[in-house]
Structure 1
Amino acid sequence: MLIHFIHPGSAYLPELAAYGDFLAALGHSAQVHSRPASVPADAVICWWMCGRVPHDAARRLSHAFHIHEYASASVPPWPKVKDRAKRALQPVPQYRLFQNTWVRDRLGFSDGVPYEFRDMGVEPSFLAPCARRAAPEFDGVYLGDMQRLRQFVPLLTALQQAGQRTLLIGEPPVDLCKTLHTLGHVTGRVPHGQVPTLLRRARYGLNLVPDQLPYSQQTSTKLIEYCAAGLPVVSTDYDWVRAFEARHGARFAYLPIPDMAGCVVPDVSTLAWPRVLERLALWRRLGLCP
């Protein structure tokens, strides 16, 4: 069976590689499309990483089994308007996936379409044992979307003034590039397979997430990756991180004055992508596994 994943956006989605690996292990395959028009007319399963699903594409592929996956609710500006538009205007699929109950409730679909939840996972390579450096080169490390660092420039400045060395993994936006290069060591874009080694060059992971919807209710992939790499976590304080901490028996340090003396790094091996994906009932619905 060939499953066609449609992802017309620019966001990096590690789950696409995880889906491909998982399906290959089952004897099936995946193809990722950046344009709906490239999906062949005889496609049997169309898996949309929503986004807007064009009605003309849904009509052209009406014979296929359609899955709409919502890994996030809409982000500012006008997030509630965008979510209402999705609820009112999206074609109706045969199945939906949501990251969690908050995302489902926020989108508010009430058409009876079957659904389930699929949270974020972590690449198994992050969990592989690896010797830590006796003396890490950096104090903190930040991994992820650097657009979101705009509101945290004062915090990074304070860390620098306190003598903290920060490693920033990713590609900064053009208008932030000069600023971030003065506040930390910026790697630029790196292959995902190199990230675990880079993380272990620091003493702790920085989970900088604004206490703002939808971010405050959605999974922080970077935090899971810090934990998988064995790093203590220093975080901003918001609802999801507190719930994760309690659920996994973790203990994090919170800004603005983090106390790292009692940090506990949780075991997140159950969040490795193969284990996250094997729990989906959807595979049996599609007849891809017993």
Structure 2
Amino acid sequence: MLIHYVRGGNAYLPELAAYADFLQGLGHQAQIHQDSASVPGDAAVVWWLCGRVPRHAARRFAHAFQVHEYASASVPPWAWLKDRAKRASQPQPQYRLFQNAWVRARLGFADGVPCEFRDMGIASAFFSAQGTPGSPEFDVVYLGDMRRLRHFIPLLQGLEQAGLRTLLIGEPPPDLHPVLAPLQRTTLTGTVAHSAVPGLLRRARFGLNLVPNQAPYHQQTSTKLLEYCAVGLPVVTTDYPWVRAFAQAHEARFILLPRQVKDRAQYARFFATQLDHAACTVPDLRALAWPRVLERLALWHTLGLRP
């Protein structure tokens, strides 16, 4: 069987490579499409990574088994309104996947379409990077959406004031360059290949997980936190519901950033005294490796790909 994945947009979607590898192991194939126009009209399975699914595009595959996957609810601004509009306007598929129960409840579909949950997984390269020899060159590393750093400039300035070295993996938006340029102890990698990320993470002592305590971010899986843990990094994180629930479920201990800190001097005092490996427990997340996450999906049986 050939499954056609329609991604749309430029979001970081490591699950696409995981799906392709998993299907190949079952003797099937995946084809990734940036736009549904390149999906052949006789496709048997069309798997939409939502986004909005245009009704006219879905009608073109009326004979196909269509899957709608929601790895996230809508993001601000107007997140709640966008989710409501999505619920009202999306065409009905044969199956839905949601990252977790909160995402399903937030989107609120109530049409009886079969569904299940598919959380984020971790690529094997991150586990392979554990125990890489050498002394870390940086105190903290940040991996993730660089636009999010707009909300955490005082924190980055506090790291600088505390004399700590910071590695930022990715390319910041243009408006952040003038803000980051004065930070002498901060290094930017620019855009890097995904295969290079595990080695870059191992160049630091701690992973920095910066997630706003607002919907939908505060109830969704932090992929970068999973990847920090997979390479063996202790984690410094903002304090929000998902990260507390995750730590409890996996018997992890993270360094939680205080919620009330607002300026660089307060952050500097925090980082000067609280970066302690002894305060952290890095969980064993091998159960979250992509093959193990995907093999648990009942959808494969529905599609007839597994007995």
Fold agreement, TM-score > 0.5: yes
CA contact 2:129–2:198 (8 Å) conserved in 1? no
Instruction: Please report how far the alpha carbon of residue 177 of structure 1 lies from its aligned counterpart in structure 2 after TM superposition.
Output: 2.2
202, 205, 210: which is aligned to 2:204? 202
Quote the offset at 1:279 in angstroms: 0.4
TM-score by length of 1: 0.98
Structure 2 counterpart of 1:248: 250
- Aligned-residue offset at 1:56: 0.6
Match of 1:219 in 2: 221
Q: Distance in 1 between matches of 2:192 and 2:69?
A: 27
Structure 1 Cα separation of the partners of residues 254 and 114 of structure 2: 36
Q: Corresponding residue for 2:17?
A: 17
The superposition leaves residues 68-91 of structure 1 with CA deviations (integer Å, 9 ceiling, x where unpaired) of 000000000101110001110000
Deviating more after overlay: 24-33 vs 220-229: 24-33
Structure 1 unaligned segments of length 5 or more: list them: none
What is the CA–CA distance in structure 2 between the aligned matches of 1:129 and 1:224, rounded to whole Å?
13
> What secondary structure does 1:8 align onto?
coil
Q: CA deviation at 1:130?
A: 4.2
Q: Which residue identity is paired with 1:10?
A: N
Q: Distance in 2 between matches of 1:117 and 1:219?
A: 12
Cα displacement (A) at 1:211: 0.6
The CA deviation at 1:131 is 3.5
The reply on whether 1:63 has 2:80 as its aligned counterpart is: no
- Counterpart in 1 of 2:294? 277
CA distance in 1, matches of 2:132, 2:37: 47
Residues 3-30 of structure 1: per-residue CA shift (max 9 Å, x gap) = 0000111211110111011111111111
Structure 2 gaps, min length 5: 259-269
The count of residues paired between Structure 1 and Structure 2 equals 290
Q: Tell me the distance in 2 between the aligned counterparts of 1:58 and 1:197.
A: 41
User: Which residue pairs with 1:95 in the alignment?
Assistant: 95
Does structure 2 retain, via aligned residues, the 8 Å contact 1:172–1:180?
no
Measure, in 1, the Cα distance between the counterparts of 2:138 and 2:48: 39
RMSD over aligned Cα, in angstroms? 1.1
Please give the secondary structure, in 1, of the residue aligned with 2:279: coil
Contact persistence 1:216–1:239 (CA under 8 A): yes
Distance (Å, rounded) in 1 between the aligned partners of 2:51 and 2:130:
38
Superposed, 1:66-215 pairs within 5 Å as 66-128=66-128, 130-183=130-183, 184-215=186-217
